[in-house]
Structure formats: C-alpha cells, structure tokens
Structure 1
Amino acid sequence: MSISSSLSNALSGLTAAARAAEVVSANVANATTEGYGRRVLESSAAALGDQGAGVRVDGVRREIDTKVLADRRLADASAANAEQYVDFFSSLEVAIGTPDSANSLSGSIAALDSALIEAASRPDSDARLANVLTAANGVVDQFANISDEIQTLRAEAEQGINAQVRTLNTRLEQIADLNHQIRLQDGSGNDTAALMDQRQVLVDDLAEIVPVRVVQRDHGEIAIYTETGATLLEGKPAEFGFTPASTIVPEMKIESGALSGLTLNGQPISVAGPYSPIAGGSLQALFDQRDVLAVDAQADLDALARDLIERFEGVDPTTASGAPGLFTDAGGSFDPAQEVGLSSRLSINALVDPDQGGAVWHLRAGLGATDPGAVGDSTLLNAFSDALNENRIASSGTYTGAARSAAGLSAEFLSTVSTERLNAEANQSFAQAKAETLREAERAGGVDTDHEMQSLLLIEQSYSANARVIQTIDEMIDTLLRI
C-alpha cells in the first residue's frame, strides 16, 4: 500500500470517527427527549479497484422497536379512555354526596324526615312547620343540583369532543406534511431522522384520542389506520366532522338528532361499540359520557324524583284525585310520559309556601283544607313521614326492584355510582400500569447512556489509531525528505 493510500485511509477513518462521535453526542443529549429514536451510524469498507480505500459513511439509521411502540400507543389510548370514565363517575359521586353529609341527597332526605317528626310532635308550631318546608326545599335543591351537574358533565364532554376533533384534524394534516418533507429529503439523500422524531410525537398525540396502527410506506412515509380499519392517512389526511351544541338539556339526545354525531370524510360513523372507528380512545369515552353515562344517570335521578312525587300522592285526604301532592312537577301533576328531566323540575306545592301565596299550616291541615283546622292534629304530618319511609318499588330507573324507602333508594343510587367509579379506577390503574411498562420497555430499547459512553471510548480509540497512522506517515515523509 502506498503512502498516499495509507494517508487517505487514515483520513477517512478520522472522518468516520468524528461523525460517529457526533451521533453518540446526539443520542446522549436526547436520551430523555420524547419521540427521539436512537441514531446508529452506518458505515462500510470503501474500495478503489481491488484495493481497500478506507471507510465510507453510508448514513445514519433511526432505530426504534416498532412492535413496542405500537403496543404502547394502544395502551396510552386505553389509559386515556379509562381516565374519562373515572373523571365522570368521581364528579357525579361528589355531586350526590355521601350519606353522612348534610349537603348530600341522602342527607337532605334524612333532614326532611327529621323535620316531619319534630313537627308532628308540635303540630301547632309554625316554626317547626316552616322547618319542614325548608327541608323539603332542600331536597328539591339537591335534585336540581345533581341534575345540573349531570348536564354540566355532558356539556364538558361536548366541548371535549369538539376540541379533540380539531386536534385530530390538525395532527393528521401535520403528519401528512411531514410525510411529504420526509419523502423529499429522503429522495435528496438527506438525513430524515429529526423529521421522523417530530412525526412520532404527533402520532402519539393522535393515538391517545383514537387508537391507531401505523404502516410503513416507501421513502420513509407512513399510512395510519384505526384499530377497526378506517383510513386516517394514506397520502391524503382524512377529515373528521362534528358540530357542537351551544347548550345541553336532559331531553337532548343523539338519537333524536338534537346532538351531533361524528363524520369521517363527510360520512356518518358509529361512535359506540367495539367496532366503532374510534373505539378504545378518549374520544369514544367522551361520546359515551355525553350519550350513555350521563343519560343513564339522569334517568335514574329522574326515577328517584318520580318516586318521591308518587310517595306523597293520595296521602293527603283533602286533595282531589289527580291533583299535585306535596312534591310537584314544576307546580303541576306529574305525567309519566314526561319523566325525562323531572329532577330539574321538581318543586314544592305552592299551597304550603308563603313566598308563593300559600301557608305552612297546609302541611298540618291538608293541601286542600280551607282553614288551619285543629292545631294539635299531627295525623297528616305522621302520614308524610310514613310515606317517606315506606318501602316501595320504584316505578322506573335501573334499580334492583327491591322495595326501599326514599333514603334507601338514594343510597342505592349513590352505591351504583360509587361502584362504577371503583371499577373505572381499577381499569385505569391496569391501563396506566400497562402503558408505563411498555414505556419502560420502549426506553430500554432506546438510548442507553452507558452503552453510548462505551461506544465513545471505542470511537476515541479508533480516532487515536488513525491519528497515529497519519503521524507515522508524516514522520516517514520527513525522513525521506532529509535523505
């Protein structure tokens, strides 16, 4: 091998070693950067004719475990889905309140029962009768507060759906743009790893909203499909459509067309069930919250309000048949065909409310009485208390069918919500643990700083060896020139 060939080989070795050091430096600096794929320098032996000509740098490869990455994305979607359920049931449970709280549904019913008992012991006391009215209004207020919270949760879900649909469309457009840039850079022979890092972060954002599968295409491009096979990106990005409602009331449902569904490229798609194009992610959970969970909770709450109205019907012998009792539907009689939203319309009969032109003595004498009657008569007050504590089967709702008192039914309502919350938390814990395990596996297959530092030592040795060759050649040339 000639001196010039040896010098050329050593110089190519120095260049490759310097490039390898840059790659190691980038790996170490980005060891914790989200979406960063470990870089690996690819090199090969160069040849000139039949003679070795040093080392050639072929490029830098971005190294990721696609299987672990795909599984981690699915786990992230599952965790985001479970989080929505936990948030919903936790908020609803707080709105209902625990039985030991005076501001809870059970607490307000217990307060009404206590007020009736106290008034029955002194039916002549207007103050105690007023306490009954106050307690009854407390029950009404609690029903209204819970109903308002349910509709607030539906409205929040509506806003969340709108925000996530915008995010989906934006991310798909950004990924399509990066696909185009990667194709151009790859065709020009330039490094595309940094663009691929950006694209991975965007796909990760997308995958929490809708679980996706990524398919590699030529020239570094990718195609994206949902788990159920709907195309989100194949050259051109898909577009989701959604029209948010300005307000939501209990009567509004997606089945009636009062609330918007979801479209994909202008075509309506299912948002419920395991075969929905969006199944498994946070977006489906938000639709489920708006259209199923909140609707079911409202139906059960309305069933409790109906039960309360029906308990007091026929108890007062002074009221005419069909006339409203102590608890009314917006001041009138209850119509079973209008049960939806009843809890928000529940009210106290105006006849017992001085603020509405009534008088508290009607609680003692009867709603249809024309005079206060005997001030020592506690018969009706005791009947009201007995009605509140009577074990009866609710006429509607998803209750077990066992006969219960008003307090017992409210406790079952809370128990159902609490059980759902615990189940949702268990699912969330499992999903988060799985996602974190896969994230750790992803990190383990990514940048290992110890390994990178070991590689740097080998690179330094290679650099030193090539530098020594150049130094030796320099000495040889100096010796030849001195001859």
Structure 2
Amino acid sequence: MTGLFGTLGTATRGMNANQNALQTSGHNISNMNTDGYSRQRVRMQTEQPYLMAGVGTLGTGVRTAGVERITDSFIRTQTQGAYSKFRFYEQKSHALGQLEQYMNEPSETGMIKQMSVMHDSWAKLGSNPELGTSKTLVVENSNSFTDMVNQTGKQIGELQGEMIDNIEKNALDFNEKVKELEILNGQIYDLASQGGTPNDLLDRRDSLLKDLSGLADISSTTDMYGRVSSLKIGNKTTGTEILSLDGGRKEISVVTGENDPSNTISLGGNAQNKVTIDGDLPLGTIVLADTSTNPATVTEVDVEEGQIGGYQEANKEVKARLDEFQTFVKSVADTINGAYRAESGEDFFTFDADGKISVNQTLRDNPNKLVVGKGANPEAGDGSLATEIGGLFTKKDADGLTFAERYNSIVTKNGISKQQADNTASSQLTVLNQLEYKNESISGVNINEEVSDVMRFSQAFQANARIIQTVSEMLDTLINRTGV
C-alpha cells in the first residue's frame, strides 16, 4: 500500500519492532546476574516492498523475524566436558586427602613413630629383662599401637562408607535432573511447535546438561525443536542411553551393601529402597536395573568422569590402600607372633572376629607374664627373645622393606595419587575458567551494550512515532482543510 496510509503502516511496524527490541533489552538487563542466562537479540527483517508501476519498489518497513539466543554450542559442549573432568579429579582429591589425614604421616603422633616407640621398648626390655616396668612399657606401647591400627582401619572403612553414600546421593540427584530434563523437553516442544521461541527454556536445558556433566560424563543430541533427543551416560562412544524421545527415561542405581562384592542395590539411588540383584558387583558400581525379574537383573554403566566417577575411582584406591594396610598389620603381627610363639607357646598379638588386633589378654592383665628369654627355662637376665623381637623392626622382608618402610610405601602411594589428582584438578580448573570466560564473552549480558541498545531502540521508536504524528497532521490537512 502506498500513500499516507502506507506510510502510517510502515511507521507502525517500525514502532512495534523497536518496542520488541526494547523489551528484549530490558529482559537482558533484568537477567544479567541470572546463572546460565544467555543474552537475546531481536532479529529484524525488511518487509516485502511494494511494486509501484512506473516508479519501482517502495519499502514498507520492518518486521520482527524472531528473538534468538546468542550462544556457541561448541564452546558449551567443551565447557561441559571440562566441568565433568574437573569435578572427577576434585572429588578424587578430596577423598584421598581424607585418607591422607587418617594415615597421619609424617607426624610425631603417627604409626611410624609408634612403631619406633614399640621397637625401643622391646630393645630396652632386652637390656633389662628382669625390670617389671620394662615389660609394662612393652605391653602398653604395643596396646597403643593396636589402638592406632584399629582406629585407622575404622576411619578408612568409614571413609569407604561415606563415598558409597555420596555416590548414592549423586545418583539420586542425577535421576532427578534427568526427570526434570524430560519434563522440559515437553515444554520446549509445546512452545516451539506453536511457532514460539523457547529461549529461556533452552537456557534451562543447557544448565541442566552442565549440572549432569558435573555428576557423570554425558553426551547428548538435540532435535529441530531444541529438545534433548538422546542423552547417554558414560563413554561418548559406548555410553548407555538413559533418555530418548522414543525410549523414554531410565534411572541409574548404585550397588551397595555390607560386603564387597554385593548383590544389593539402592534403586534409583534411593538408600531407603533396596533391591536384590542377580550377580555380584563391586560396591559403588552404577547400574541400570530391570526389576521385572526377581532377583533384578542389571546392566553395568561405566562412569569415567564427574563426581560419581571421582568417588568410584577414589573408592578403588582407598580399598587398595586398606587391603595393603591390613596386609601390613597382619605381617607385623605374624612376624612378632612367630618369634614369640616359638618360645612362649602363645601369640603376642591376637585378632577378633571383626579383624581387630589387640595384645594377648593374658599379657594385658599381667605384663609380668611376658616371656623375654629363650628356652623352656630361660636363665635370669636372659633377654634374648626381647632383643630378637626388637631386631624384627629393622629386619627387611622379602621385598627389602622394614615395617616402617612398608607402611611408608602405603602412605607414599596415596600421597602420589593425591598430588596427581590435585595437579590435574588445578589444570582442569584453568581450562574450565577459560572456557567459561569465553562463553560469558559470547552469551553474557554486557550492561554497557544493553544501555546503548536501549537508547538506540528508544530513539528509533520515537522517530517512528514522529512519522505517525506527521502523517496524522497531513491527513488532517487533507481531510479537513482541502475539502477533499
């Protein structure tokens, strides 16, 4: 349409388009501190021109073609991967750090120091075999050693339990977020299928995917509407699909129980919902469970990153250190018992049904019954057995290690692994910060830019309003003053 009414329509469309742009800038400014928000821009397009005979084409203004998010999908995918790796090493470092505290080395109150004290007491008893206080010192120092061993073993066992609990909680959280993502898929489709632009819903989708990547390594694909059409957990090539538009949603569960291996799972990560499974798997294993059978059948899920993967990896290492610690304790007890039993006919150290070590109850009740010499009737002043046992603390085993060196090797293994986790977590955090900075530079709200846009769109709105006012005056002249 041409003429004054055509000009009026052009100005009206200009006002509407700039009003939409102003509203979008206001939305950006309002959400500048909203976590996960991506700035939006109104996409304007020129309206189809009007062909006027003898003149050519006349412009008919502008229209709002859509409101788009300013994002870089590649950067966001890279950020998810870096976040998953960082959370893996962060949790692994945290768990191994706790183990490091329990082992308490090097320290003046640690295991190695206590073994040194115990060694000294046996050596002194060998030099003073008839001295009652020397016998008491051997028994009491050995008691302190067994108390320390039992306490350390208990703390490491509790640490394993805490890690399994954390895996359960993370699995439950993971399932809740996948459920939320499934609901979000429906909301995105409802809006997009009606021609709407679900920008804020897509921001929420990306935030959920990042949260999920912090719990486990995931990979996802989206369809034309922006829905997550497929979500896999685990290795990107061989991962297990847990959400799809056709197959629905699946829940991950965690292998738990008192023993390892175990045949009990926390269904969906719910510690109050235990189910027996067919087969034995290590504690903390992530599985997909089919409860239509009794016992339930499961498919193991290989998680390699995220908090769940970090706790699983740490649990393996803590279990390995605990096995080595128990082997070390048994080696100390068996070596000393072998020498002491050969002369006294009984063990110096005993183990109860729970595996706790203690000094023979008879000796604890009466330290003077401690045998310190050799032979059926050792002579007075014979401290050869005590001297021999004292020498066992510095004697090297088949691997060329003393008691203290054996324990120190366990501590060292954990320390090296902890340091590697710390270093990798630090490097991954640097990568993550760089990617998040890059993402923020693309998708973040720049207040100076938004204020500039507000002024620009406001002036454009006012200019279009001025055109309408001018056309109105022209129409008034045309209608009321020319007599037309």
Q: TM-score range by the shorter chain?
A: 0.7 to 0.9
Q: Which residue of 1 aligns with 2:422?
A: 425
The answer for the alignment partner of 1:334 in structure 2 is none
Offset at 1:96? 0.8
TM-score by length of 1: 0.84
From 150, 156, 176, give the equivalent of 1:150. Answer: 156
Q: Does 1:113 align with 2:125?
A: no
Q: Distance in 2 between matches of 1:60 and 1:258?
A: 51
Q: Kindly state the Cα deviation for residue 164 of structure 1 after the two structures are TM-superposed.
A: 1.8
Asked if residue 456 in structure 1 is aligned to residue 454 in structure 2, the reply is yes
Question: What does the per-residue CA deviation read over 1:233-279, in whole Å, with 9 as the maximum and x for residues that have no partner?
Answer: 2112222233532x45xx656885574743226363445xxxx3x22
Contact 1:364 1:377 in 2 (8 A): no
SS at match of 1:214: strand
Q: 1:435 to 1:144 in 2, by over 3 A?
A: same
For these two proteins, the number of residue pairs brought into alignment is 446
Matched residue SS, 2:470:
helix
Instruction: Give the aligned partner of residue 45 of structure 1.
Output: 46
TM-score (norm 2): 0.84
Q: Show CA shifts across 1:37-64 (max 9, x none).
A: 2211122223475454322222211221
Aligned to 2:90: 83
Distance 1:475 1:329 in 2: 105
Per-residue deviation, residues 124-176 of structure 1 (Å, max 9, x unmatched): 33233222212111111222122112211211121112112212221111111
Please state how far the C-alpha of 1:110 moved relative to its aligned partner: 1.6
Q: Which residue of 1 aligns with 2:298?
A: 268
Aligned to 1:427, the other structure's residue is in SS state helix
Q: CA 1:479/1:22 → structure 2, altered by over 3 Å: closer, same or farther? A: same
CA distance in 2, matches of 1:310, 1:165: 42
Structure 2 residue aligned with 1:397: none
- Cα displacement (A) at 1:448: 4.3
- Indicate if the aligned counterparts of 2:89 and 2:422 stay in contact, CA closer than 8 A: yes
State yes or no: 1:192 paired with 2:198.
Answer: yes
Q: What is the CA distance between 1:216 and its match in structure 2?
A: 1.8
CA distance, structure 1, for counterparts of residue 244 and residue 285 of structure 2: 24
SS in structure 2 of the partner of residue 297 of structure 1: helix
Of residues 360-369 and 428-437 in structure 1, the stretch that sits farther from structure 2 once superposed is 360-369
Output the CA distance in 2 between the equivalents of 1:86 and 1:420. Answer: 8
Shift of 1:369: 7.2
Task: Tell me which residue corresponds to 2:391.
Answer: 386
The alpha carbon displacement at 1:329 in A equals: 3.0
Q: Which residue of 2 aligns with 1:442?
A: 439
Of the structure 1 ranges 215-224 and 258-267, higher mean CA displacement relative to structure 2 is found in 258-267
Q: Which residue of 2 aligns with 1:471?
A: 469
Alignment of 1:283-432 (within 5 A): 283-290=308-315, 292-316=316-340, 319=343, 324-330=346-352, 344-354=355-365, 359-365=366-372, 374=380, 376-393=381-398, 401=399, 403-432=400-429
CA distance in 2, matches of 1:382, 1:70: 66
Name structure 2 gaps, 5 residues minimum.
Answer: 52-57, 264-278, 291-296
**1:30 equivalent in alignment to 2:31:** yes
CA distance in 1, matches of 2:50, 2:167: 65
Runs (5+) with no aligned partner, structure 1: 332-340, 394-400
SS of the residue aligned with 2:340? coil
Quick one: distance in 2 between partners of 1:411 and 1:230?
Answer: 41
Q: Which amino acid aligns with 1:155?
A: G
CA change 1:418–1:19 in 2 (3 A) is same
Match of residue 12 from structure 1? 13
Is the 2:340–2:346 Cα contact (8 Å) retained in structure 1? no
Give yes or no for contact 1:312–1:384 (8 Å, CA) kept in 2: yes
Instruction: Give SS of 1:426's match.
Output: helix
Which deviations, in whole Å up to 9, do the C-alpha atoms of 1:174-207 show, x marking residues without a partner? 1111111111111222331122222222221111
Cα distance in 2 for residues equivalent to 1:367 and 1:19: 99
Contact 1:352 1:367 survives alignment (8 Å):
no
